[in-house]
Chains A and B, each alone.
Chain A
Amino acid sequence: MAESDATPTLPKKCGPYISSVTSHGMNLVIRGIVLFFIGVFLALILNLLQIQRNVTLFPPDVITSIFSSAWWVPPCCGTASAVIGLLYPCMDRHLGEPHKFKREWSSVMRCVAVFVGINHASAKVDFANNIQLSLTLAALSIGLWWTFDRSRSGFGLGVGIAFLATLVSQLLVYNGVYQYTSPDFLYVRSWLPCIFFAGGITMGNIGRQLAMYECKVIAEKSHED
Chain B
Amino acid sequence: MTLTERLRERISRAFYNHGLLCASYPIPIILFTGLCILACCYPLLKLPLPGTGPVEYSTPVKDYSPPSPAAGLQRGDLGERPDWYVGAPVAYIQQIFVKATVSPWQKNFLAVDVFRSPLSRVFQLVEEIRNHALRDSSGVKSLEEVCLQVTDLLPGLKKLRNLLPEHGCLLLSPGNFWQNDRERFNADPDIIKTIHQHEPKTLQTSATLKDLLFGLPGKYSGVNLYNRKRVVSYTVTLGLRRYDSRFLSSLRSRLKLLHPSPNCTLREENIVHVHFKEEIGIAELIPLVTTYIILFAYIYFSTRKIDMVKSKWGLALAAVVTVLSSLLMSVGLCTLFGLTPTLNGGEIFPYLVVVIGLENVLVLTKSVVSTPVDLEVKLRIAQGLSNESWSIMKNMATELGIILIGYFTLVPAIQEFCLFAVVGLVSDFFLQMFFFTTVLSIDIRRMELADLNKRLPAEACMPPAKPVSRSQRYERQPAMRPATPHTITLQPSSFRNLRLPKRLCVIYFFARTRLAQRLIMAGTVIWIGILVYTDPAGLRTYLTSQVTEQSPLGEAVLPPMPVPGGVLPAGDPKIDLSVFPSDPIQLSENQTQQREQKLGLETNQHTWAQGTEGKGNGQTELGTEAEVTWGAEDEEIWRKLSFRHWPSLFGYYNITLAKRYISILPAIPVTLYLNPQEALEVRHPQEVNRYHPFLLPSRGKLDTEAQPGQTSSKLQGHQDVTLYKVAALGLASGIILVLLLFCLYRVFCPKNYGQNGLSHSRRKRGDLPCDDYGYSPPETEIVPLVLRGHLMDIECLASDGMLLVSCCLVGQIRVWDAQTGDCLTVIPKPRLRRDSSCIFDYQESWDHSPDGKNALDDPLETSHQLKRMLSPPQPPLFCDQPDLTSLIDTNFSEQAKVAESETRLRSVAGRQKETGYDFSSLVGKVYEEHGTSNCRSFASLSAPHGQAVFCGTEEGGCGSRRRSLGDESLMGFDKSSSLPSWGGDLESSVWSLELQGNLIVAGRSNGRLEVWDAIEGTLRSSNDEGQSGITALVFLNNRIVAARLNGSLDFFSLETHTSLNHLQFRGAPSRSSIPSSPVFSSGDVVSCQLTHTVSCAHQKPITALKAAAGRLVTGSQDHTLRVFRLEDSCCLFTLQGHSGAITAVYMDQTMVLASGGQDGAICLWDVLTGSKVSHMYAHRGDVTSLTCTASCIISSGLDDVISIWDRSSGIKLYSIQQELGCGASLGVISDNLLVTGGQGCVSFWDIGYGDLLQTVYLGKSNESQPARQILVLENAAIVCNFGSELSLVYVPSVLEKLD
Contact = CB atoms under 8 A, between A and B. Distances in A.
Interface of A: 12, 15, 17, 41, 44-46, 48-49, 51-52, 68, 104-106, 108-110, 112-114, 116-117, 120-121, 124-128, 132-133, 135-136, 139-140, 143, 147
Interface stretch (B95-103, B289-297, B436-444, B698-706): B289-297
Nearest to B399: A147
Contacts of A17: 502
Interface string B300-320: 011011000000000000000
Most chain B Cβ neighbours within 10 Å, of A41, A45, A106? A106
23 contacts: A12-B1297, A17-B502, A45-B286, A45-B290, A48-B287, A68-B283, A105-B297, A106-B298, A106-B301, A106-B302, A109-B298, A109-B301, A113-B294, A113-B298, A113-B351, A120-B287, A120-B291, A120-B351, A125-B414, A128-B411, A132-B409, A136-B409, A143-B402
Contacts of B304: 106
B468 to A, nearest CB: 13
A143 B358 CA distance: 19
Interface in B341-364: 347, 350-351, 354-355, 357-358
B501 interface: yes
A49 B402 CA distance: 25
A42 to B, nearest CB: 8
B298 A110 contact: yes
A125 B413 contact: yes
Contacts of A12: 1297, 1299
Given A48-B286, A136-B409, A139-B409, A113 B354 contact: yes
Contacts of A135: 409
Contact of A15 (B284, B287, B413, B501): B501
Given A41-B290, A128-B411, A143-B402, 7 more contacts: A46-B287, A52-B284, A105-B301, A106-B298, A106-B358, A125-B413, A126-B413
Nearest to A147: B402
A147 B347 CA distance: 22
B1291 to A, nearest CB: 14
Contact of A112 (B287, B294, B305, B411): B294
Contact of B357 (A45, A110, A126): A110
Contacts of A52: 283-284
Interface string B267-301: 00000000000000001101100110011011001
A198 B467 CA distance: 33
B410 interface: yes
B715 interface: no
Contacts of B287: 45-46, 48-49, 116, 120
Nearest to B155: A64
Nearest to A116: B291
Nearest to B285: A48
Contacts of A41: 290
A136 to B, nearest CB: 5
Contacts of A147: 402
A102 to B, nearest CB: 9
Contacts of B1168: none
B367 to A, nearest CB: 16
A133 B291 CA distance: 22
Nearest to B296: A109
Query: Which size class do B's interface residues fall under?
Result: 20 to 34
B521 interface: no
Contact of A109 (B297, B412, B1297, B1299): B297
Nearest to A13: B1299
Contacts of B411: 125-128, 132-133, 136
A219 B295 CA distance: 31
Which A-B residue pairs are the 7 nearest by beta carbons? A106-B301, A109-B298, A106-B302, A105-B301, A113-B354, A125-B413, A117-B351
A207 B409 CA distance: 32
B405 interface: yes
B324 to A, nearest CB: 16
Contact of B347 (A46, A105, A120, A128): A120
Interface in B398-432: 402, 405-406, 409-414
Contacts of A117: 291, 350-351, 354
A136 B414 CA distance: 9
A114 B291 contact: no
The CB with the most chain A CB atoms within 10 A, among B291, B304, B1299, is that of: B291
B354 A139 contact: no
B1020 to A, nearest CB: 43
Nearest to B1296: A12
A112 B290 CA distance: 11
Contacts of B301: 104-106, 108-109
Nearest to A41: B290
Contacts of A143: 402, 405
B283 to A, nearest CB: 6
Contacts of A116: 287, 290-291, 294
Nearest to A121: B414
A113 B1297 contact: no
A44 B502 CA distance: 34
A95 B689 CA distance: 93
Interface in B466-508: 501-502
Interface string B699-733: 00000000000000000000000000000000000
A33 to B, nearest CB: 19
A113 B295 contact: yes
A177 to B, nearest CB: 22
Contact of B291 (A105, A110, A113): A113
Contacts of A125: 411, 413-414
Interface string B370-393: 000000000000000000000000
A225 to B, nearest CB: 14
Contacts of B284: 52
Contacts of A114: 351, 354-355
A68 B282 CA distance: 12
Contacts of B405: 139, 143
A17 B406 CA distance: 48
A45 B295 CA distance: 15
A132 B410 CA distance: 9
A133 B411 CA distance: 9
Contact of B350 (A44, A105, A113, A128): A113
A113 B409 CA distance: 21
A104 B305 contact: yes
Contacts of A45: 286-287, 290
A49 B290 CA distance: 11
Contacts of A106: 298, 301-302, 304-305, 358
A1 B347 CA distance: 52
A46 to B, nearest CB: 8
Given A48-B283, A104-B301, A116-B287, A109 B414 contact: no
A140 B351 CA distance: 13
A113 B501 CA distance: 36
A121 B414 CA distance: 8
A96 B501 CA distance: 36
Contacts of A108: 301
A124 B999 CA distance: 93
A24 to B, nearest CB: 21
A48 B281 CA distance: 12
Contacts of B294: 109, 112-113, 116
B505 to A, nearest CB: 12
Nearest to B292: A113
B290 A110 contact: no
Nearest to A102: B359
Contacts of B402: 143, 147
A112 B296 CA distance: 12
Contacts of A124: 347, 413
Contacts of A120: 287, 291, 347, 351
Contacts of B351: 113-114, 117, 120
B364 to A, nearest CB: 15
Contacts of B412: 126
A18 to B, nearest CB: 8
